[in-house]
A and B are shown apart, each in its own frame.
Chain A
Amino acid sequence: MSTLYPDSEALPARERTVLNLYLVSALMLFILLMAFGLAMRLAQGAWIAIPPNIFYQIMTAHGAGMVGTVGLASSAVMWFFLRKYVRLSLPIFAANYAFFMLGAVLLLGATFIGQYAGAWTFLYPLPVHSMGIWTVGAAAVFMLGYLLIGLGFLLFYLDAMRAVIRVYGNLGRALGLQWLFGGTIDKAHPGTVVASTMVIIVNSLGILGGAVVLVMSLVNAYVPDFMLSALFTKNLIYFFGHVFINSSIYMAVIGVYELLPRYTGRVWSVSRPFLWAWAANTVLVLIVFPHHLLMDFAMPRWAMVVGQVASHAEGLPVFAVIAYGALTNIYRSGMRWRMPSMLVVLAMFGWAAGIVPAIIDGTISVNRVMHNTLWVPGHFHFYLLLGVLPMLLAFMYHLIGERADRPDRGGDKLGLMVYLLGGLTFVGMFLAGGHASEPRRYAVHFVEWRPYDRVASIGAALVISAMLLFAARICRGLLKAPVRSGASLKE
């Protein structure tokens, strides 16, 4: 039996414990936060009653929690595969988890005890201007929670940066920049290292940007004379937020590169288009954030043009290289359909399809009538719920031994169908709501909007049902069976 990946994936006991902590926590959080999402859609559909103050607390916790949890789970994917090529620090990986959980406690405490409901985006000056609904202290605790989470991630990235530089000399060589314009590409250069390096670069910068705006906002909270520019802080917040969530996607994609070849039996090695795609991603992810500010007319015109052009250009690497590469790897490969491979294919579809409405919304003339309608949660839920989350689930199913040589359980496949049906229904209703001009983030919906909310609630309930099944199966597998080494491949 040969293997595409010669390094063992077997984890020593301590590593396995920390990884299990990441994944079990992430699954529990995903289910809790999905339940929050369902509650919001039920309330908008007037099937249940939630007072607006509670609704907006739930909305704040849902947004902050989901962004953080996707980051947490994705960093586990990156850590697991990157550690095969470079030496990563377990204490720092564990510290990231500890900082995350501590930060999460502060976020939840600020939200549900302190009644903070300033949304995950904490746009200045809302956190300190609530009209008496929450205190400045609650807002400060929320922002401190963010800072702790960011600190953990920054430690993780700095450790990964140190480890990558030790093996590859510098970040440019790890990205494969030396092969962009010529030269013989080392086909053994791991795609995981390329993708990880891109994430290390962009998310370190993103988190630093977030730290700057958080510290400025905290100072302003207690020294109001230290005034901030609403436009400048908004730029920093969206720079940080966009880079962070994009990085989470790209960390999860590492799992696709590592897992898919094991089911197709085909090597997925780096190529010049591959390296160009990731080099372009490194730049595009950093400069695309102005597409969140297209309706801030005071923004410089050149920044808006950059926002639109970069939004459209960001689709190129995804469509023409990553998704296309995956499909080429699958096409007439004699693929073995197992839970990880099915989830990977769903993930690539969800990601590629989900960015269609996102790219369209990145067009200024479209943004004029779609910005901050339900179109926005429509597209990001599409590629997060049907793209990133299946990537994470594929990784988890892989870990519990649901590999090419193990039969699947019928329940898992049924769960996958329910997840797909529920997910498409759920995100479809967001997009339909956006088409009908429904504003996002409304605790109370007009009567004419409720049918969308109600169908979306059914979709959300289906997704949660499937997630409960997946989570039970994965948690049992993670806690019971040791992680097996290596990955079998067809000869």
Chain B
Amino acid sequence: MTLQDEVWWITLAGIGGVALVFLYVISQAARQAEATQVQARAYAIRRWFFLALIVLGVGVTAATLAPFPIPNQHASSQARQAVKAVGRQWFWELSPGRIRVGVPAEFQVTSADVNHGFGIYDRSGRLLAQTQAMPGITNRLVYTFTLPGKYRVLCLEYCGLAHHGMILEFDVIGAPEGQS
């Protein structure tokens, strides 16, 4: 299951949960009960609901921020391939144009003109990773390809007339023997 799939199912479950709560309350709306009793019970439940949300939030924060999901932009990278990526209206320059599989690649992403979005897509059309390409700034994105083949870079920040055509295909090749 991809990260997108996980996000999709968690979202559907969340929206479904909200919908069920609303449907339940709507189904009860026509009945009548003393407001103070309803409030007292609801507020008692809310304490637990609030506590559950806090625990969930703390857990998600801890689980998703450690280790920090974005490489340190100021420390020297451990990646063994450096790839320069420059966005221009409306094409990409990638150097070198071939990347080895299984070896962490550091994409040094910048722009020669306006803001672009550097999105790496696999052959099935799934977005693998991204960063912004900005004039005057180099963002370092580290990604390790696990399969050789054709990949594409799509622009993910609106950059003008041919934004949708700003696509580059590149190869990820098998590592030479003796290298991992």
B4 nearest CB neighbor, chain A only: A435
A173 at interface by CB-CB < 8 Å: no
A320 at interface by CB-CB < 8 Å: yes
Q: Is the CB–CB distance between B69 and A297 below 8 Å?
A: no
Q: Which residues of B contact A125 (CB under 8 A)?
A: 113-114, 135
Q: Is the CB–CB distance between B31 and A332 below 8 Å?
A: yes
B147 at interface by CB-CB < 8 Å: no
Q: Is the CB–CB distance between A297 and B71 below 8 Å?
A: yes
B159 at interface by CB-CB < 8 Å: yes
Q: Which residues of B contact A123 (CB under 8 A)?
A: 114-115, 157-158
Which residues of B (7-25) have their CB < 8 Å from a CB of A?
A: 7-8, 10-11, 14-15, 18-19, 21-22, 25
Contact of A443 among B5, B159, B164 (CB under 8 A): B164
Q: Is the CB–CB distance between A131 and B126 below 8 Å?
A: no
**B20 to nearest A CB, angstroms?**
11
Q: Is the CB–CB distance between A369 and B136 below 8 Å?
A: no
Q: Is the CB–CB distance between A312 and B38 below 8 Å?
A: no
Binary flags per residue of A297-325, CB closer than 8 Å to B gives 1, else 0: 11001001100110011011001100010
Most buried by B among A118, A366, A369: A369
Binary flags per residue of B68-107, CB closer than 8 Å to A gives 1, else 0: 1111010000000000000001000000000000000000
**A198 to nearest B CB, angstroms?**
20
Q: Is the CB–CB distance between A320 and B50 below 8 Å?
A: yes
Q: Is the CB–CB distance between A52 and B135 below 8 Å?
A: no
**A154 to nearest B CB, angstroms?**
27
Cα(A35)–Cα(B15), bound, Å: 27
Q: Which residues of A contact B139 (CB under 8 A)?
A: 296-298
Q: Which residues of B contact A356 (CB under 8 A)?
A: 11, 14-15, 18
Q: Is the CB–CB distance between A437 and B125 below 8 Å?
A: yes
Q: Is the CB–CB distance between A315 and B117 below 8 Å?
A: no
Q: Which residues of B contact A363 (CB under 8 A)?
A: 60, 64
Cα(A330)–Cα(B5), bound, Å: 35
**B27 to nearest A CB, angstroms?**
10
Given the contacts A229-B136, A296-B134, A332 and B160 also touching, CB distance less than 8 Å: no
**B3 to nearest A CB, angstroms?**
5
Given the contacts A125-B135, A320-B50, A131 and B127 also touching, CB distance less than 8 Å: no
Q: Is the CB–CB distance between A298 and B18 below 8 Å?
A: no
**A469 to nearest B CB, angstroms?**
23
Q: Which residues of B contact A178 (CB under 8 A)?
A: none
Given the contacts A297-B141, A435-B7, A444 and B113 also touching, CB distance less than 8 Å: no
Q: Which residues of B contact A231 (CB under 8 A)?
A: 134, 137
Which residues of A (446-482) have their CB < 8 Å from a CB of B?
A: 446, 448
Q: Is the CB–CB distance between A353 and B18 below 8 Å?
A: yes
Q: Is the CB–CB distance between A234 and B160 below 8 Å?
A: no
Q: Which residues of B contact A352 (CB under 8 A)?
A: 18, 22
Binary flags per residue of A420-438, CB closer than 8 Å to B gives 1, else 0: 0000000000010001110
Q: Is the CB–CB distance between A296 and B26 below 8 Å?
A: no
Q: Is the CB–CB distance between B73 and A331 below 8 Å?
A: no
Contact of B65 among A295, A364, A369, A440 (CB under 8 A): A364
Cα(A133)–Cα(B88), bound, Å: 15
Q: Is the CB–CB distance between B61 and A308 below 8 Å?
A: yes
A327 at interface by CB-CB < 8 Å: yes
Cα(A5)–Cα(B60), bound, Å: 42
Cα(A125)–Cα(B31), bound, Å: 59
Q: Is the CB–CB distance between A297 and B64 below 8 Å?
A: no
Most buried by B among A229, A273, A332: A332
Binary flags per residue of A354-382, CB closer than 8 Å to B gives 1, else 0: 00110010011110111111010000000
Given the contacts A331-B38, A366-B3, A439-B154, A324 and B71 also touching, CB distance less than 8 Å: no
Q: Is the CB–CB distance between B130 and A371 below 8 Å?
A: yes
Cα(A364)–Cα(B129), bound, Å: 12
B170 at interface by CB-CB < 8 Å: no
Q: Is the CB–CB distance between A357 and B11 below 8 Å?
A: yes
Q: Which residues of B contact A84 (CB under 8 A)?
A: none
Q: Which residues of B contact A106 (CB under 8 A)?
A: none
Which residues of B (29-71) have their CB < 8 Å from a CB of A?
A: 29-33, 35, 38-39, 42-43, 46, 49-50, 53-54, 57, 60-61, 64-65, 68-71
Q: Is the CB–CB distance between A133 and B32 below 8 Å?
A: no
Q: Is the CB–CB distance between B7 and A308 below 8 Å?
A: no
Q: Which residues of B contact A353 (CB under 8 A)?
A: 14-15, 18-19
**A117 to nearest B CB, angstroms?**
7
Most buried by A among B10, B33, B132: B132
| Interchain residue pairs with CB less than 8 A apart (21) | A56-B160, A118-B160, A230-B115, A230-B134, A266-B35, A273-B46, A295-B132, A296-B137, A298-B73, A330-B25, A333-B29, A333-B35, A334-B31, A364-B64, A364-B69, A365-B69, A369-B130, A370-B4, A372-B117, A372-B119, A442-B163
Query: What 10 new A-B contacts, CB under 8 Å, besides A52-B164, A131-B89?
Result: A117-B161, A126-B159, A296-B137, A301-B68, A328-B43, A331-B25, A332-B28, A369-B130, A372-B117, A441-B163
Q: Enumerate the 4 nearest inter-chain pairs by beta-carbon distance, A residue then B residue, closest first.
A: A356-B14, A332-B33, A437-B127, A442-B164
